């Protein structure tokens, strides 16, 4: 019997009516001949409520008890979904993570998958059950304690089950009807994509697109799990949504497939740093240890070199999320006080945004950077930092120009057109 994995996010199971709506979609797939593994999130807002209760009870909480409390939201949804399916005459049973068992590491709050044994679920399908409803976002440690998987845990759970059970596809139901060329809230010309490659989706997710979490896309790409993103609030069929798949399944790709953005970025520059072997490691090592997510990096020749400095010096610029600036400053000041680095001053600009174009077609087409920079120049948008990869070009700009830049690039690369 072919198997399908269906994942429903918090907004899709926010109340009993929406759970019934989701269950109806599951029943439709059963009637098409599938056995189905359903992965559910907690009802919308429930996880935040549980986290708030933990923090109010014990600000310096035991991470093992945190996981015990926070994982309960998914357990409630799984039970309600199974009951709803049973009322629809669909043979279904709910499973908590430890019952499968979903084996993870012991890193409470940020556990990683180790293994998903198939025996228990395969036995139930053999008995005639058509649907296994799994509480997402959770597993069990080698010590037998409940663990949670951190941000994007339910999406990652769905992909992991699709890989373990060799599912035909993994459908991610959310509150949008697919993946768009850019955020439709910024430009009405944004177009829903029929297909997008794993690599493009991974870049878009890491650059700020919120539809899928980076971890789930990484896992899907590694195990070649075909993902479909679609809305739980629309009527759907086999052609609905956007398919995230291997590049080989896409006949012909546009040069650029999408424009992504990240609004809350900061630019930090260490002015007059000694230019010597190992200086980059001395700077970015402490930042990594402090949990600062460094993104774009540019090293410049310092003005001091042109003024007859005794030793070669450089300026080092990098970007990070705005909410990590304080952590970055503290780490750099500590490194300077310890004598591992020296710098004249730290310049911080917290009014930046990152805009990126992504496309696997960039591998075989020249002139993408020139077209991007020309489009931004025509709108009077100044570029502060540039970073590139094989299928991506990102620029850091003033935040007030972010929406203008997204619209200009969307038009420049003709993303509103299907041809």
Task: Indicate the annotated binding residues for substrate.
Answer: 47, 74
CB 77 within 8 A of CB 22: no
Residues annotated within the binding site for ATP are 7-10, 174-175, 180, 185, 210-211
Indicate the annotated binding residues.
7-10, 47, 74, 174-175, 180, 185, 210-211
How far CA 68 is from CA of 43, 96, 115, 158, 313, in Å, comes to: 17, 12, 20, 21, 52
CA distance 244 to 254: 15
How far is the C-alpha of 38 from the C-alpha of 170, rounded, in Å?
Answer: 10
Separation CA 96–CA 139 (nearest Å): 8
Cβ pair 265, 321 in contact under 8 A: yes
Q: Which residues contact 196 (CB under 8 A, 6 or more apart)?
A: 179, 204, 242, 243, 244, 245, 250, 257, 258
Identify the sign of the CA torsion 252, 255, 261, 267: positive
| Cβ count within 10 A of residue 347 | 12
Backbone torsions φ then ψ of 178, nearest 5 degrees:
155, -170
Angle between helix 368-378 and helix 402-412 axes, rounded to 10 deg? 130
DSSP letter (8 states) at residue 97: G
Cis check for the bond before 101: say yes or no (omega within 30 of 0): yes
273, 417, 266, 245: which is closest to 335 by C-alpha?
A: 273
Question: SS3 of 328, please?
Answer: helix
Is-contact 315 300, C-beta < 8 A? yes
Q: Among 324, 208, 309, which residue's Cα sits nearest to residue 263?
A: 208
């Amino acid at each position: 019997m072919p198997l399908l994995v269906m994942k429903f996010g918090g907004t899709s199971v926010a109340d009993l009516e929406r759970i019934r709506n989701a269950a109806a979609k599951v029943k439709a797939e059963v009637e098409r001949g599938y056995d189905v593994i359903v992965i559910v999130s907690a009802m919308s807002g429930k996880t935040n409520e549980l986290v708030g209760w933990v923090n109010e009870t014990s600000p310096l909480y035991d991470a093992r008890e945190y996981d015990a409390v926070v994982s309960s939201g998914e357990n409630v949804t799984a039970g309600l979904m199974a009951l709803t399916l049973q009322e629809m005459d669909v043979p279904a049973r709910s499973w908590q993570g430890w019952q499968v068992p979903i084996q993870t590491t012991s890193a409470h709050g940020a556990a990683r998958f180790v293994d998903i044994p198939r025996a228990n679920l395969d036995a139930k399908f053999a008995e005639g059950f058509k649907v296994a409803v799994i509480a997402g976002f959770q597993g069990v440690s080698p010590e037998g304690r409940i663990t949670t998987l951190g941000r994007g845990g339910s999406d990652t759970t769905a992909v992991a089950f699709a890989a373990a059970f060799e599912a035909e596809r993994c459908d991610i139901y959310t509150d949008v009807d697919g993946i768009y060329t850019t955020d439709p809230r910024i430009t009405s010309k944004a177009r829903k994509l029929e297909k997008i490659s794993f690599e493009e989706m991974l870049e878009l997710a890491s650059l700020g697109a919120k539809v899928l979490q980076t971890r789930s896309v990484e896992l899907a790409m590694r195990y070649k799990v075909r993902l479909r993103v679609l809305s739980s609030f629309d009527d759907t069929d086999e052609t609905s949504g956007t398919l995230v798949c291997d590049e080989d399944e896409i006949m012909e790709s546009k040069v650029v497939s999408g424009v992504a953005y990240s609004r809350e970025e900061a630019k930090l520059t260490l002015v007059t740093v000694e230019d010597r072997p190992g200086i980059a490691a001395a700077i970015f090592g402490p930042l990594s240890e402090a949990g600062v997510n460094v993104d774009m990096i540019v090293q410049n020749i310092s003005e001091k070199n042109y003024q007859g400095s005794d030793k070669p010096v450089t300026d080092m610029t990098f970007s990070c999320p705005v909410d990590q600036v304080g952590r970055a400053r503290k780490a750099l000041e500590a490194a300077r006080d310890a004598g591992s680095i020296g710098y004249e001053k730290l310049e911080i600009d917290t009014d930046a945004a990152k805009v990126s174009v992504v496309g696997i077609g960039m591998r075989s087409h020249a002139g993408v950077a020139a077209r991007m920079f020309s489009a931004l120049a025509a709108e009077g948008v100044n570029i502060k930092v540039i970073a590139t990869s094989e299928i991506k070009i990102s620029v850091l700009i003033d935040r007030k120009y972010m929406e203008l830049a997204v619209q200009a690039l969307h038009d420049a690369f003709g993303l509103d057109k299907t041809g």
